[in-house]
Amino acid sequence: MGISQYLKDIGRGKEGARSLSRAQAADLMGQLLDGTLTDLEIGAFCLAMRIKGETAQEMAGFLDATEPRLARVPAGAQPLVVLPSYNGARKLPLLTPLLGLLLARRGLAVLMHGTATEDARVPAQAVLAALSIEPLQQVRAIAAGELAFAPTALLCPALEQLLAVRRVVGLRNPAHSLVKQMNPSQGRAFIVASHTHPEYAVSMAAVFAEMRSSGMLLRGTEGEPVADARRTPAMQCFIDGVAIDAVAAQGGTLSQLPDLPASIDAQTTATYTRAVLEGTLPVPAPLLQQVDRIVQTLESMQEGSS
C-alpha cells in the first residue's frame, strides 16, 4: 500500500502541510506498526510530523491504530491507573515510581509502562529494579494495591521500534506523544499524562476529549507524569473526555521545600522512595495533592458507573 499519498500532505513544510483525517492517520499508523513500510518511509514520516506537528484528530487516529495492536492488560474491577514513563531523570530524582507506589498503597491497580529513550537519563526501570520491582515478562491482570511495570516492547514491539528512531535521527516523533495517552487496558483506564510545554497542554486536552479518555493532565517533572516535588503544577482531570475541576498551579516554589536527594542515580532515588513510604521522610506536598486528586476522581468515576 505505502504511505506516499499521506506524505504528500504532511511533508509540505510547516506552512504548507495539510493535516490528515482521523481515519487516514489510523491507516498510516496501522501500516507502520504492521511493519509494511520501508525505513525510508518511516524516516520521512517521522521528520515530516516533527516539522508539522500532530493535530488532535491525527493523534486520535494514531491511538485508534495502536490500541488494538497492544498486548492489553485484562480489565479489573476498577479502572487501571496508567503511568507512562519515557523521559526519566535528568536533573531531579525520578519520583514516578514513588507516585505509583503511593497510589497502590491507596488500593489502586497501577501500571507503569515505558522504555529508555535517552541514554543520558536515569530510566524508571532502573529505579524500579533498585526497589526490587522487576518488569513483567508477560501481560497479566494487575491486582488492586499493586504496582507493575510493563516494558513498551512487551506491550507492542513495533511501537518500541518507532520510539527507537529517535536514537537514529535525534528528534522525537508522534510515538513519543502517543505513548503518553494510550490505554493499555482492555477495560477502563485512568491515564496520567504529562506535557512539557504549554501548547501541548491544549493539544493533549483535545485528545482526551476526542478519545473520551479519563485521566489527569499536568506539567510533569522533566516530562514524567509526576508533580514537581518543589511546586504544585496545574492538574486537569477528565472523566470520559469531559474536563472537570482542576487544581490550580501554585506560583513560585513551596515555602518549605522537601528534602530531596542531591543525586539522581537509581539507588539513591530508591532509598529516598523507601524512606518516604516508611514515613521516615514526608511525602512531598505536590505529590500528596496529586495522589488525593487521582483517588477522588476515580471515586467519582466509580460512582458514575454504579
Residue 74 falls within a domain, yes or no?
no
Closest by CA to 194, choosing from 164, 227, 171, is 227
153 and 233 together in one domain = yes
51 and 104 together in one domain = no
220 and 267 together in one domain = yes
End-to-end CA distance of the chain: 46
272 and 300 together in one domain = yes
Picking from 69, 92, 126, the residue at the C-terminal end of a domain is 69
The tens place of each residue's pLDDT in the chain, 306 residues long, gives 678 999 999 988 777 889 999 999 999 999 999 999 999 999 999 999 999 999 999 999 999 999 999 999 999 989 999 999 999 889 999 999 999 999 999 999 999 999 987 778 899 999 999 999 999 999 999 999 999 999 999 999 999 999 998 888 878 899 999 999 999 999 999 999 999 888 888 999 999 999 999 999 999 899 999 999 988 888 999 999 999 977 777 765 655 567 898 899 999 999 999 999 999 999 999 999 999 999 999 998 887 665
CATH (domain of 284): 3.40.1030.10
Domains of the chain: total: 2
Angle between helices 56-66 and 22-33 (to 10 degrees): 40
188 and 268 together in one domain = yes
240 and 268 together in one domain = yes
Residue 75 falls within a domain, yes or no?
no
Residue 38 falls within a domain, yes or no?
yes
- Structural domain of 10: 4-69
Q: Tell me the three-class secondary structure of 6-62, residue by residue.
A: HHHHHCCHHHHCCCCCHHHHHHHHHHHHCCCCCHHHHHHHHHHHHHHCCCHHHHHHH
64 and 92 together in one domain = no
48 and 141 together in one domain = no
Residue 230 falls within a domain, yes or no?
yes
Instruction: Please give the Cα distance from 101 to 84 (Å, whole number).
Output: 14
Closest by CA to 62, choosing from 211, 198, 171, 186, is 211
24 and 136 together in one domain = no
CATH (domain of 19): 1.20.970.10
Picking from 14, 42, 69, the residue at the C-terminal end of a domain is 69
199 and 56 together in one domain = no
| Contact between 58 and 25 (Cβ < 8 Å) | yes
229 and 191 together in one domain = yes
How confident is the model at residue 252, as a pLDDT?
59
How confident is the model at residue 191, as a pLDDT?
98
Residue 235 falls within a domain, yes or no?
yes
150 and 267 together in one domain = yes
Picking from 69, 98, 126, the residue at the C-terminal end of a domain is 69
Instruction: Please give the Cα distance from 95 to 224 (Å, whole number).
Output: 8
Instruction: Please give the Cα distance from 258 to 31 (Å, whole number).
Output: 47
| Contact between 142 and 111 (Cβ < 8 Å) | yes
